[in-house]
Chain A
Amino acid sequence: MSETWMIAGAWLSAGLTIAIFSFLYKDNPFFKIAEHLYLGAGMGWLFQVSVFSVWGPKIWTPVSHGDWLVIIPSLMGISLLTQFIPKLSWISRYGFTFIMGYGSGLAIPATLSTDFMSQILGTVQPLSLMASMSPFAIFNALLVAFGVICVLFYFFFSVEHKGHFQKVSNIGIYFLMVYFGAAFGNTVMARFSLLYGRFDSLYASSSARNFYATQIILAGMVIYFVLHSFFGKKGPAEGEAAH
């Protein structure tokens, strides 16, 4: 890629990042432009993926090499589009029937084995191996089994949660809260990582090699907000702070 294109890319990347982040201050036209551009570019990207990475190698190339069998699944796929024509929508059932049958056949055994049987085994099996386990591993195995039972109790609604049942179910809530806390902490870390990624990119665009793209765009944005606060009309949406 030539140097000019790299610099243009840095300006575009910095401009769009700052435009999107500017919403944190308040709604503005730059944010709207970036938002619409993102949606349009996303749709365009998906369209070209469908044409060049799916339709081309999976349908066009085999058919042009005489493999006519691919026309059958292609027709079934096209049949889904008849949903939009009420008189012909019954044809789409053939496509959906295949998808349902194929999907269920693949997913049900795999889910039962991976997420159900293996998980039950993983919870119960350590209890039978306690003789060879360290004290911490025994405590861990008991805690996992106890937690599973308590949480399952919380989701068991056929018995009224009263007395001892309520106590067990309440302990289940604490286990769930620990999980949600861990998940929230990780979510915060993930969001900070993404923010770091964008800031790192902005820092790269701020170099002299990129003609100080970040600083110039940021300064332009600040000038816009200052001028807008003095001369702009305060509409209901424009004046609203980011929430």
Chain B
Amino acid sequence: MLKENLQKFFKIDRRWIFLLLAVCIFVPIMKPLGLPNKTIAPETKRVYDYIEKLPPGSFVLFSLDYDPSTRPELHPMATAIVKHAFRKNLRVGVVTYIPGATGMIEEIFETVGKEYNKTDGKDYVIFPYMPNIVAAMTQMASDIYGMYPMDRNGRDTRTMPVLDGIKNYKNVSFVVCITGTAILDYWVAYVGDKYSVPVAGGVTAISQPGYGPYLQTGQLKGLLGGMKGAAEYESLIQSPGKGTSGIDALNLGHLLVLALILTSNIIILIVKFL
């Protein structure tokens, strides 16, 4: 009798699990629990340390290549790193090879730019969307202006104070690519390795394990993975944002999954020995 009752657990309508998961994710949004994010991954710390060590005025090139489908994971990390760069008074250039990213890039610089009193053209420049990633990356090695003669608003880039003294990758101190695609691989292969430019990345949690080999060899200077990576970076710069607030929901969701796995395994064991 007990065995049959226990076996009913495996025939549960999966929609109950969907509902349970929805509750676990939604409740912390309505009422944040404030669960701490105590661990900082060493690869996240390396990105932070690299930016921290750059002298003011260094030029950092951001490649923000994500669209709304990966926004919850990547937008908070992009925002956090841009904040850090502005706080350090670095000059920022932004390129994108994903057309859907343009609106979100504007959103970041509209809010973070205002927060740190940064001016478009003087402290940062946003280049327009460019098709054919590899061609753009390789041409920028000889002349950035050949690829981007104008910014996204059609203004001449050669006369912009933010690009003063910047001609090619030799003048770029750091490249940060935040993407849910394989564009980070291109930055490593066609820019980092080829022209000895330090490259770091921010990727979705799904892609994170695949970049382990690049981290081990030092081809990637650091890596932020998923919403947890964003939360870690927000902790490091002491500016909590969407990444930090998502940690509650992630923790509860993971606890639910763990509870379900444990419960089913315990039931299987009990059923086996009954």
Checking A54, A118, A197 against B193 with a beta-carbon cut-off of 8 angstroms, the contacting residue is A118
Docked-complex contact A189 and B26, CB < 8 angstroms: no
Task: List which A190-225 residues lie within 8 A (CB) of chain B.
Answer: 190, 192-200, 203
Docked-complex contact A196 and B72, CB < 8 angstroms: yes
- A45-B100, A186-B226, A198-B72 given; 4 more Cβ-contact pairs under 8 Å: A110-B190, A122-B218, A193-B246, A200-B242
CB distance from A240 to the nearest CB of B (A): 12
Task: Tell yes or no: A111 within 8 A of B by CB.
Answer: yes
Task: Tell yes or no: A74 within 8 A of B by CB.
Answer: no
> How distant is the Cα of A177 from the Cα of B129 in the complex, in angstroms?
39
Task: Tell yes or no: B269 within 8 A of A by CB.
Answer: no
Docked-complex contact B99 and A53, CB < 8 angstroms: yes
Checking B69, B189, B208 against A110 with a beta-carbon cut-off of 8 angstroms, the contacting residue is B189
Task: Tell yes or no: B38 within 8 A of A by CB.
Answer: no
Task: Tell yes or no: B2 within 8 A of A by CB.
Answer: no
Task: List which B31-86 residues lie within 8 A (CB) of chain A.
Answer: 69-73
Checking A121, A195, A242 against B25 with a beta-carbon cut-off of 8 angstroms, the contacting residue is A195
- Given A113-B193, A118-B193, A182-B209, the answer on whether A189 and B15 have CB atoms closer than 8 Å is no
Docked-complex contact A193 and B227, CB < 8 angstroms: yes
From A53, A179, A196, residue with most partner B Cβ within 10 Å: A196
Name the segment of B115-123, B164-172, B247-255 touching the other chain.
B247-255
Task: Tell yes or no: B274 within 8 A of A by CB.
Answer: no
Task: Tell yes or no: A85 within 8 A of B by CB.
Answer: no
> Closest residue of chain B to A190, judged by CB?
B205
Residues of B within 8 A of A182 (CB): 209
Residues of B within 8 A of A192 (CB): 25, 249-250, 253-254
Checking B13, B21, B205 against A241 with a beta-carbon cut-off of 8 angstroms, the contacting residue is B13
Docked-complex contact B226 and A193, CB < 8 angstroms: yes
Contact with A along B100-130 (1 / 0, CB 8 A): 1000000000000000000000000000110
Docked-complex contact B205 and A203, CB < 8 angstroms: no
Task: Tell yes or no: A57 within 8 A of B by CB.
Answer: yes
Residues of A within 8 A of B226 (CB): 186, 189-190, 193
> How distant is the Cα of A182 from the Cα of B208 in the complex, in angstroms?
9
Contact with A along B192-230 (1 / 0, CB 8 A): 011000000000111011100100111100000111100
Chain B contact residues, CB within 8 Å of chain A: 13-15, 18, 21-22, 25-26, 29-30, 69-73, 99-100, 128-129, 131, 134, 138, 188-190, 193-194, 204-206, 208-210, 213, 216-219, 225-228, 242, 246, 249-250, 253-254, 257
Chain A contact residues, CB within 8 Å of chain B: 24-25, 45, 49, 53-54, 57-58, 106, 110-111, 113-115, 118-119, 121-122, 144, 179, 182-183, 186-190, 192-200, 203, 241-243
Residues of B within 8 A of A122 (CB): 213, 216-218
- Given A186-B206, A187-B205, the answer on whether A197 and B72 have CB atoms closer than 8 Å is yes
CB distance from B127 to the nearest CB of A (A): 12
> How distant is the Cα of A24 from the Cα of B13 in the complex, in angstroms?
11
Docked-complex contact A189 and B228, CB < 8 angstroms: yes
Residues of B within 8 A of A144 (CB): 216
> How distant is the Cα of A113 from the Cα of B191 in the complex, in angstroms?
12
> How distant is the Cα of A24 from the Cα of B73 in the complex, in angstroms?
23
Residues of A within 8 A of B190 (CB): 106, 110
Docked-complex contact A183 and B209, CB < 8 angstroms: yes
> How distant is the Cα of A57 from the Cα of B127 in the complex, in angstroms?
13
- Given A122-B216, A203-B26, the answer on whether A196 and B205 have CB atoms closer than 8 Å is no
> How distant is the Cα of A57 from the Cα of B73 in the complex, in angstroms?
31
CB distance from A141 to the nearest CB of B (A): 9
CB distance from B246 to the nearest CB of A (A): 5
Residues of A within 8 A of B13 (CB): 241
> How distant is the Cα of A39 from the Cα of B100 in the complex, in angstroms?
15
CB distance from A127 to the nearest CB of B (A): 13
Residues of A within 8 A of B218 (CB): 122
> How distant is the Cα of A24 from the Cα of B22 in the complex, in angstroms?
11
Docked-complex contact A241 and B15, CB < 8 angstroms: yes
Docked-complex contact B205 and A189, CB < 8 angstroms: yes
> How distant is the Cα of A121 from the Cα of B138 in the complex, in angstroms?
25
Docked-complex contact B216 and A114, CB < 8 angstroms: no
A-B contacts, 12 of them at CB < 8 A, read: A24-B15, A49-B129, A110-B189, A110-B190, A115-B189, A122-B213, A183-B209, A192-B254, A196-B29, A198-B72, A241-B15, A243-B14
> Closest residue of chain B to A103, judged by CB?
B134
> How distant is the Cα of A113 from the Cα of B73 in the complex, in angstroms?
31
Docked-complex contact A194 and B15, CB < 8 angstroms: no
- Given A192-B25, A196-B249, A199-B29, the answer on whether A114 and B72 have CB atoms closer than 8 Å is no
Docked-complex contact B193 and A49, CB < 8 angstroms: no
> How distant is the Cα of A193 from the Cα of B25 in the complex, in angstroms?
9
Checking A114, A188, A189 against B227 with a beta-carbon cut-off of 8 angstroms, the contacting residue is A189
